[in-house]
Amino acid sequence: MTTRRTSSTIPLILLNSGLALSLVACAGDDAAGTSDESYGGSATATDGGSGDTGWGSSSGGSGSASASGGDTAGSTGTSGATSDSSGGDETGGEGTTGGEDPTTGDDSTTGDTTTGGEEVCDDQSPVTLYLSPDDSNSMSSPVQVRETILGGWQDYLWGVPIRTWEFFNYYTFEYPAAKPGEVIITPELYRLEEQPEGEYLLQIGVSSEVISNENRAPMNITLVLDESGSMSGPPMEMQKETCRAIAASLKVGDIVSMVGWDVQNAVKLAGYKVSGPDDETLLEKCNALTPGGGTDLHGGLTAGYDLAHASYDKDRINRVVLVSDGGANAGITDIDIIAGGAGGNNEDGIYLVGVGVGSYDTYKDGLMDTVTDAGKGASVFIPSAEEAWKVFNEDFVNTMAVAVRDVQVKLDMPPGFEIVKFSGEEYSDNPAEIEPQHLAPNDTMVFHQTIATCAPELIADDTPITVTARYKDAITFEQKEIMATVTFGELLGVESPMVRKGAAVFAYVEALDAAKSQTNAAAAKAEAEARIATAKLLLPTDTDLDEMSAVLAALQ
C-alpha cells in the first residue's frame, strides 16, 4: 500500500440543501440512528474507536493505491512509500498540487490489477479510502498566486507554491452550518458533459458550527514578531497592520503577550489583559515596531512560548502568532518547541498561527509551511491591509479557533472505483498513514475528487456510496463517528452548485500549475474559464469566481 501527500450517537438528517448529513454529537451511547427522510440514507455511530488517529492501522476495501493531491503535471509515486508534497516552494519542496492520481505500478491499484502487462478490472472488491485535507484554514498559496499575477509579475510564478487544498480552504463553499456541538457532511455528485462513461465529480463538504467573535472563548495570544532588517518597508507595514487587526478583534479580558525578535529578543508585553477592542497600550506597541539587525528565530520562539506557557489557561484559546517574511530557517530545536507546545493526543495545547508578510519577490514560504505543520495552526499570507483585516478581523474566529479536532473521512465506493484526481493533501487505503486535521468554526473542509470505475455497467440509481466521518470533540476530546449511505441516483438528482464551484476551483489551480510549468497552459486556461462560466450560471454573484476570472484574464 502507498500514501502520497497531496488533503456518541449521532442521528442522520438529510437536509434539503444538497443532501446534508447532520452529525449530532451526543455523549457515549452505542445506539444506531437512521434518517426519517426519504432519500434512503442510513447512519450508524459509535463513540471511541481504535487508536487516536481514527480507524487505526487496518486497511479496508481493495487496497487501493493511495495518493496525495499529486502533481497536475503527472508525477509518479513510489509503491510502498509515503511521499510528502509541501507545495512547490523555492526551498526544495516537491512542488505538487492536488491533481491527478499518479500511476504507481502497485498490484493493489483500485479497480485494476496487472497480469502479464494487461489491465484487469476488479469488479468484485469494494473500495475503501481514507481522506485528509491540510488544516482547514491554511490558505497562503492562493493569495500569493493572486498577488503575483495581478501585480504583473507572472515571471516570478515559478517561485510561488501551488497547493490545491489551500485554494479549497481559502474560497468559500456555502454548505449548511452545524448546530453547536455538531458537524455536517454534505456529499455531492456531478458528471461533466465531456466526462467518459463511469467518471464522476464527487465533492464532500464537512462543515462546522457558527461562532461569533462575541460568543467565542477568551483568548491568550502571544505575538512573536520579526524585527530583523529584512522586514524593512512593506513587510513591516503589513506586520503592523496585522497587529492592529488583531487588536480590533479582542474582547475585554483577553490576554496578549508580545515579543519582537532580531538578533535580540525584546519582551514588549507579558500577560497583559486588554481593555477591549483597540486597546491603546497594545496599539502603541504595534505601531512602534521597527526593523533592526540580524535574525534569531530560535530566541524569538523560545521567548514567545515561555510567555504563552506563563499565561496558559485551559479555558482560553491559547495561540502563538508568528509573523515574518520567512527569511529565517527553523531548525530541529525550533520545531521541537513548536510541536511540544501544540500538545499531544487528547490534550489541548498552544497552536501556532503562521503569518507571512512581504511581496512576490521577498516572501519565503517554506518557513511558515514548516512551522504551522508542527504547530497545528493556520498558515496565511498578508500582502495588503485589506487581507490583514479580512483574516484577522472579519474571519478572526475561524483563523484562531478550533471547532472539532482530528477530522478524518472514510469513503466507501463500489468495486472497480478509484480516485483519479484529488484536492486534499493526502488519501490512502491505510488509515494509519493519514494525518487527521482540525476544523475551524465558521468553516468547511472540502474534498473534491474525480472518481472513475472500470465497470460502469454495474452502476445503477441504487448503487451506494458511504461516507464516514470521525473527529474529536474540541473540549472533551471524545471521539465521535457517523456512517451515512446515499445512492448515485439520489446524488445525481440534486442540483449542486457547490460541486460546480469545486470543479471551477480545481480547474483554476490546474491552469495556474500549467502556466507555472509552461505545459499545455492555453488549454488549461480555457478549461478553467469554461468551468468558471458553468459555475456562474448557478452562482451569478459569487465573488470568488469573479476573482478567479480576473486572475486568469491577467495570466499571459
Band of residue 138 on the pLDDT scale cut at 50, 70, 90: confident
Q: How many CB atoms lie within 10 A of CB 168?
A: 31
Cβ atoms of 417 and 453 within 8 Å: the answer is yes
> Comparing C-alpha atoms, which of 102, 108, 8, 121 is closest to residue 59?
108
Q: Mean pLDDT throughout 63-68?
A: 41
Residue range(s) occupied by CATH 3.40.50.410 in the chain: 219-399
> Comparing C-alpha atoms, which of 222, 312, 219 is closest to residue 265?
222
Q: How far apart are CA 350 and CA 357, in angstroms?
A: 22
Percent of the chain with pLDDT over 90: 54
**Residue-wise pLDDT tens digits, 169-185:** 999 999 999 888 788 99
More confident residue, 71 or 144: 144
Q: What dotted CATH number matches 219-399?
A: 3.40.50.410
297-324: b or e for each residue (b if 16 or more CB lie within 10 Å)? bbebbbbbbbbbeebbeeebbbbbbbbb
pLDDT of res. 57: 39
**Residue-wise pLDDT tens digits, 3-54:** 333 433 223 333 333 444 433 333 333 333 333 332 223 333 334 443 444 5
**Residue-wise pLDDT tens digits, 483-522:** 778 899 999 988 889 999 999 999 999 999 999 999 999 9
pLDDT of res. 75: 31
Pick from 287-291, 296-300, 429-433, 458-462: least confident: 296-300
Q: Mean pLDDT throughout 532-549?
A: 98
More confident residue, 265 or 420: 420
Q: How far apart are CA 130 and CA 139, in angstroms?
A: 22
> Comparing C-alpha atoms, which of 313, 308, 425 is closest to residue 373?
425
Average pLDDT, the chain: 80
Band of residue 117 on the pLDDT scale cut at 50, 70, 90: low
pLDDT of res. 336: 79
pLDDT of res. 86: 36
Q: Mean pLDDT throughout 94-123?
A: 49
171-188: b or e for each residue (b if 16 or more CB lie within 10 Å)? bebebbbbeebbbbbbbb
pLDDT of res. 268: 96
pLDDT of res. 221: 98
Q: Best-predicted range by mean pLDDT among 32-46, 48-62, 64-78, 473-487?
A: 473-487
- Look up cell 518597508; give the residue: 233
pLDDT of res. 65: 40
pLDDT of res. 170: 95
pTM of the predicted model as reported, rounded to 2 decimal places: 0.81
Q: Calculate the CA 327 to chain-centre distance.
A: 24
pLDDT of res. 348: 66
> Which distant-in-sequence residues (6+ apart) come within 8 Å of 547 by Cβ?
146
Residue range(s) occupied by CATH 2.60.40.1230 in the chain: 3-211+403-502
Query: Which secondary structure element, helix H or strand E, spans residue 452, and what is its range?
Result: strand 444-453
Cβ atoms of 36 and 12 within 8 Å: the answer is no
Cβ atoms of 13 and 179 within 8 Å: the answer is no
**Residue-wise pLDDT tens digits, 280-309:** 999 999 999 999 877 788 888 899 999 999
Order of strands across the sheet with 265-273? 265-273, 255-261, 219-226, 317-324, 351-357, 379-382
Judged against a pLDDT cut of 80, whether residue 351 lies above it is answered with: yes
422, β-bridge pairs: 449
Q: Assign domain 3-211+403-502 one CATH number from 3.20.20.300, 3.30.70.20, 2.60.40.1230, 3.40.50.11310.
A: 2.60.40.1230
